[in-house]
Structure 1
């Protein structure tokens, strides 16, 4: 791989880090490394969400930008007598994308490589080939010959299991492939927003947050928002890229490279109309591309943030990403950069009077 610029190096370290819900330490350490020099204060809540505070020219309103640290993965539930590892999913998986994929088991003794086992097609009946294998019947092969040997490797119930996919800049260098874009790209947006505000006067206090346990119920966003008590909240996450063969406009509108997605509706939240209009007006003013989208299912950290205390105007801004909730996803660097640019321009204008107007008009 060619030498990476600062941004690509950050994205590589964020996505190569391993961290499923409940075990986000590696990803949190990477986010801390990049955001700490840009913040006035770093704290964590009691669940482990990272909170980087940057004070502007006024105490002013509190603006929360939340990307979640966790990625989907698996957890060891048991080891059979032959040394094969049984597991459960942590986060949303589709069986079709799981078989024969490489994984890493994170143990106290270090990482153990493995693969989700599968039968060769030679021994499958025509009927069996057509049916997906149930998650409950899957196992991970770590090369152990017995339960005792697997335990000697350090594997034990409760250990985290993560997909394997090294960060890759594709031949079209705007296209970036990695595991865990969902949602290390949100963490990267929070970091980069603070970087671009480093020597800028902004009339508010900005919190760049890496939340935990989003994939299992927006849990870290709830506790972090309770600690911060924000006036405005942005959940930054991946969205659906509906620009591949076989995906219709009925299933999604998002296209890679066409700007950040403004999410009007998802299963966790209806976007705050005043904030949505303020953000899109700002984008129009600065000629920043964006696209609207809505999702019948799923949600982002905004879903928890907007229900904090007596309510927080919130909006989800997402990056159209192909193949999310699999081992390898792809997104477009321009969308990341335009999302950062948009949020920075919005923050520059969010003084107390503007926030009051968004809330009360």
Structure 2
């Protein structure tokens, strides 16, 4: 087994933490532990988004770097008479990746109970039905209980979260990292490392490292935390689609793992701000930091909510090419993560009132 260095230990702690939309407390506590040493103060907004503030220069431009705390998962909605759990998806799921996957149900007391997602066996289905994907509404979680009373005696009740289970793994190629919840604990890690690397740097800004809540169900925490901060410049750091697996054409997804973070030109939630986009790519070109462009007809990031706050905030989504998102496990490349941190740090060091004014009206 690969020995985990300081960075990998942080990434493991973040991805191991359990937190579907509306249940982000455990993840928030982990992020707070790692970011607090590099911040002047750490607070939360009314929905629970974490906001860590680090002042480079009093009164300087406010720069928001936000990853979201929540991961896709499930909320328990009902316990049937036989002890099987019915659930509501929290965030987007493709039914074909769900069956027979292990989950962890977390009770109010914090006890963790193992379950597996099941459905009617294919052996008893008509041939034509067997060929079709199982509807999510026909799935259930089996925790090994024999009755509703037994499940309730274990502390399970409607509203509890069920989270995909996966062990953080450094692959044989040690640049490749496999874990649950890269969407979007990698963004939280980037926000932490940006503040860490700026700790002893001179710059003219007030930087906010933010862990937002409820991104997967509508960018909700980004809206409330940005309302609290009122930033002058915003960055959403998230995962993007890696197009380097079999069957994917460059027309469908251009980015490749290990070739740099993605600068998102367009998605369903936002058109990236041209002035900020040009500023960021100019810095990357100057320093030789690799990057890739991306555009998505669907989906969105926290930038979609952040850029509409107040009278408008120049915003850009910087994403990490990732395989198999919105499933039990995903894979990304460590170099892309480290280059995203480097790029954002160098951009922030070059921001000041004059450059922000130029960006805003570019």
TM-score by length of 1: 0.98
In 2, Cα distance between the equivalents of 1:268 and 1:52? 25
Q: Give SS of 1:187's match.
A: helix
Tell me how far 1:185 sits from its aligned partner.
0.2
More off after superposition, 120-129 vs 254-263: 120-129
Q: Which range moved further: 248-257 or 42-51?
A: 248-257
Structure-2 residue corresponding to 1:57: 57
Paired residue for 1:258?
259
- Match status 1:101 vs 2:86: no
| Residues 182-241 of structure 1, C-alpha deviations (whole Å, 9 max, x = no match) | 000000000001111111011101000000000000000000000000000000000000
Instruction: State the shift of 1:252 in Å.
Output: 1.1
Matches within 5 A, 1:198-213: 198-213=199-214
* SS at structure 1 position matched to 2:215: coil
For structure 2, the residue ranges without an aligned partner over 5 or more in a row are none
Structure 2 counterparts to residues 85-164 of structure 1, below 5 A = 85-109=85-109, 110-164=111-165
State how far apart, in whole Å, the 2-side matches of 1:154 and 1:114 are. Answer: 14
- For 2:10 and 2:353, locate their aligned partners in 1 and report how far apart those are by CA, in whole Å: 33
Q: What secondary structure does 2:144 align onto? A: coil
The structure 1 segments of at least 4 consecutive aligned residues displaced by more than 6 Å after TM superposition are: none
Alpha-carbon separation, structure 2, partners of 1:131 and 1:18: 31
Q: Cα offset for 1:277? A: 0.2
Tell me the equivalent position of 2:279: 278
> Deviation of residue 119 (structure 1)?
4.4
Separation in 1, partners of 2:172, 2:31: 27
1:46 deviates by 0.7
Q: What CA distance in whole angstroms lies between the structure 2 residues aligned with 1:210 and 1:295?
A: 23
SS at match of 1:215: helix
Report if aligned partners of 1:263, 1:317 keep a CA contact under 8 Å in 2.
yes
CA distance in 1, matches of 2:239, 2:334: 13
* Aligned-residue offset at 1:130: 1.2
Q: Which residue of 2 aligns with 1:336?
A: 337
- Secondary structure in 1 matching 2:217: coil
Aligned residue for 2:291? 290
Q: Contact between 1:58 and 1:202, CA under 8 Å: does it hold in 2?
A: no
Whether the 8 Å contact between 1:239 and 1:261 is mirrored in structure 2 is yes
Q: Shift of the alpha carbon at 1:125?
A: 3.8
Residue of structure 2 in register with 1:228 after alignment:
229
Q: Deviations over 1:20-48 (max 9, x none)?
A: 00000110000000000010111100100
Deviations 1:284-309 (A, max 9, x none): 00000000000000000000000000
Offset of residue 101 of structure 1: 0.3
Q: CA deviation digits over 1:325-361, x for unaligned, max 9?
A: 0001000000000000000000000000000000123
- Consecutive unaligned residues in structure 1, runs of 5 or more: none
Cα distance in structure 2, aligned partners of 1:122 and 1:303: 45
Shift of 1:121: 4.4
Q: Which residue is 1:9 aligned to? A: 9
How far the C-alpha of 1:246 sits from its partner, in A, is: 1.4
Structure 1 residue 112: deviation in Å?
A: 1.0
Q: SS at 2:264's partner residue? A: strand
CA distance in 1, matches of 2:8, 2:308: 34
CA–CA distance in structure 1, aligned partners of residues 59 and 183 of structure 2: 32
Distance 1:252 1:243 in 2: 8
Number of residue pairs matched? 361
Q: CA RMSD in A?
A: 1.0
Please say if residues 15 and 185 of structure 2, whose CA atoms lie closer than 8 Å, have aligned partners that are also in contact: yes
Q: Which residue of 1 aligns with 2:75?
A: 75
Query: Which residue is equivalent to 1:195?
Result: 196
- Structure 2 CA distance, aligned partners of 1:153 and 1:199? 49
* Counterpart-to-counterpart distance in 1, 2:323 and 2:3: 25
CA contact (8 A) 2:119 2:138 kept: no
